[in-house]
């Protein structure tokens, strides 16, 4: 899974694979191995983009609910409620 995303105001690409979650932007970059992901949730907005929360990291991405579901699927996690 790959899509454009925003992290700390930096545009980049967000990629999810069996290895983990990776963000690559010009100013900001990070990688979280799948086994280090402990918490996943999302917040839907009225716009196309929504917010994905992974551990304590906030990422703006389209269809955050699908990203959260895919991360949970890869990790075998139970479904957590969306943030209010």
Residue 29 CB contacts under 8 Å (≥ 6 apart), including other chains: 12, 23
pTM of the full predicted structure? 0.85
Dump pLDDT digits (tens) for 11-50.
Answer: 999 999 999 999 999 999 999 999 999 999 999 887 778 9
Domain limits, the chain: 2-75
Sign of CA dihedral 51, 42, 54, 24: negative
Q: Could you give the CA distance from residue 32 to residue 73 in angstroms, rounded to a whole number?
A: 16
Q: What's the DSSP call for residue 77?
A: P
Best CATH choice for the domain 2-75 from the list 2.60.120.560, 2.30.29.30, 1.10.3720.10, 2.60.40.10? 2.30.29.30
């Amino acid at each position: 899974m790959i899509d454009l995303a925003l992290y700390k105001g930096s545009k980049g690409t967000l990629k999810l694979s069996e290895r983990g979650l990776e963000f690559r932007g010009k100013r900001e970059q990070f990688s979280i191995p799948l086994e280090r992901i402990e918490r996943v949730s999302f917040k839907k907005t009225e716009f196309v983009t929504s917010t994905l929360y992974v551990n304590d990291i906030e990422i703006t991405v389209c269809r955050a609910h699908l990203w959260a579901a895919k991360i949970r699927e890869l990790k075998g996690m139970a479904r957590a409620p969306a943030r209010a």
